[in-house]
Amino acid sequence: MSTNSDLNLLEHTFSSLSPLFEPLKINLFTVGGVPINSFDLIEFVIIFIVTYFLGKAAEASITRIGKHRGSQVRMESLQMFAKFVHWAILCAGLMFGFAAIGLPVTHLAILVSALSVGIGFGLQTIVNNSIAGLILITEKAVSVGDVICTPSGHIGKVNMITIRATRIVTPIGEDIIVPNANLIDKPFTNYTLNPRGVRKIFPFSVAYGIDFRKVKEIIENAAIQVPFCIKPDQYHEVECGITGFGNFGINVELVVWVDPIELMEPYRLEAAFLNAINDACVANGIIMPGPSYAVSVTPATSNNASSVSAKATHSSPPPHLTDPNTDSATPYPAQAPQIISHPSLTLGANQQRDAAVVGLPQSMFDSPQTPKKQKGSSGGEEE
């Protein structure tokens, strides 16, 4: 009896307050033959806002509970479930709001049919990425915390997987948003899936004539001491081998295994192993050759004397050209420079000064004179 009396009291209270809302009941438009007034619109907005915040609160609660449970729940699955609960509550609030304003659910078919074209074309990419996100989480191809290389070549750590996209953080701190469809349609690399780790290769070279067995032992022992290197076992080997014979030395590569998370610090990783290789070579007298070039100068012979139009008047070279093999200032054997004539040979001030040092005549560099034209007796021009 008390329950019925409470309901009657509540109904009486609302009926007594209804006259206060009469001024707000102004008809605005009609949907499917059902008039919608301003009070209905306010009621719908309030219901939508309340359900939206309820969905956000449910999402935050599910995420917080999952974090307390630790590794028992995959973070990406938890985030996906929380997002699904949020959208489910929001959709339920929309349905309740339409029912509250007196709009039957069957009338929503008109609205859905009007939006079907836009959903089919405008939202096609969003739907595609959402389905791809569900596939990624279901197949466990990517998880939060994995180190991957995206189809565009960016290496980073997966920070979050949402319905539409996956967010990764690069070693330099950049946040890159990758659409989930790209991780389904295009190949990418997940370094964390390999339990052995990641193999890194460091090439260098040593001089010819050295005992490579000694080099191999020294470099491998030096690489093992690097903190980034996974210690050798049946699955992880540190190897140093010859890959070819170059122009300046023997091409060698050092192969080591590192943890995938170390790829987030590529500069420290490469610097550690390269410093270990260099220090080991310096300490043990192993020469790492660099490129060298030999330049030979062949003096002119009498075979091309016919192409020479001028020679230096001074037979001795400049005073500063001396024999490096002796301590005396004995000049090189006199060899007159040979110049090939050219009708349009011109030199600037610096080149003419250098030519004067070696004694070349200035007349060699004068511009050729153009013959003047003369007028004939008949008034015409003749050359």
**265 plus 215 within the same structural domain:** yes
Tell me the average pLDDT of the chain.
73
- Given a contact cutoff of 8 angstroms between Cβ atoms, the answer to whether 59 and 88 are in contact is no
Residue 241: strand pairing partners: 253
The residue to which tokens 């075979």 are assigned? 303
Burial 110-125 (b: 16+ CB within 10 A, else e): eeeeeeeeeeeeeeee
Question: Tens digits of per-residue pLDDT, 280-329?
Answer: 999 999 988 877 666 777 776 655 544 444 444 444 444 444 444 444 44
Number of domains in the chain: 3
**CA distance readout (Å), 292 to 6, 289, 324:** 101, 9, 21
The share of the chain scoring above pLDDT 70, in percent, equals: 59
Least confident of 21-25, 139-143, 309-313: 309-313
Least confident of 142-156, 195-209, 252-266, 362-376: 362-376
Report the chain's terminal Cα–Cα distance, integer Å.
Answer: 137
Domain C-terminal end among 283, 311, 344: 283
Q: Residue 94 falls within a domain, yes or no? A: yes
Q: What is the predicted pLDDT for the residue at 226? A: 92
Q: What is the CATH number of the domain that holds 55?
A: 1.10.287
Q: Residue 316 falls within a domain, yes or no? A: no
- Given a contact cutoff of 8 angstroms between Cβ atoms, the answer to whether 163 and 80 are in contact is yes
Output DSSP code: residue 164.
S
**173 plus 221 within the same structural domain:** no
* Residue 216 pLDDT class (50, 70, 90 cuts): very high
Q: Residue 324 falls within a domain, yes or no? A: no
Length of the chain: 383
pTM attached to this predicted model: 0.53
Taking the CA atoms of 357, 358, 362 and 364 in sequence, report the sign of the dihedral they define: negative
**27 plus 108 within the same structural domain:** yes
Question: Tens digits of per-residue pLDDT, 88-98?
Answer: 888 888 777 77
Q: Residue 2 falls within a domain, yes or no? A: no
Domain C-terminal end among 122, 157, 183: 122
- Given a contact cutoff of 8 angstroms between Cβ atoms, the answer to whether 310 and 364 are in contact is yes
Q: What is the CATH number of the domain that holds 145?
A: 2.30.30.60
- Better-predicted residue by pLDDT, 170 or 352: 170
Q: Residue 226 falls within a domain, yes or no? A: yes
Q: Residue 336 falls within a domain, yes or no? A: no
**173 plus 203 within the same structural domain:** no
Q: What residues make up the domain containing 33?
A: 15-122
Q: Residue 382 falls within a domain, yes or no? A: no
Q: Residue 242 falls within a domain, yes or no? A: yes
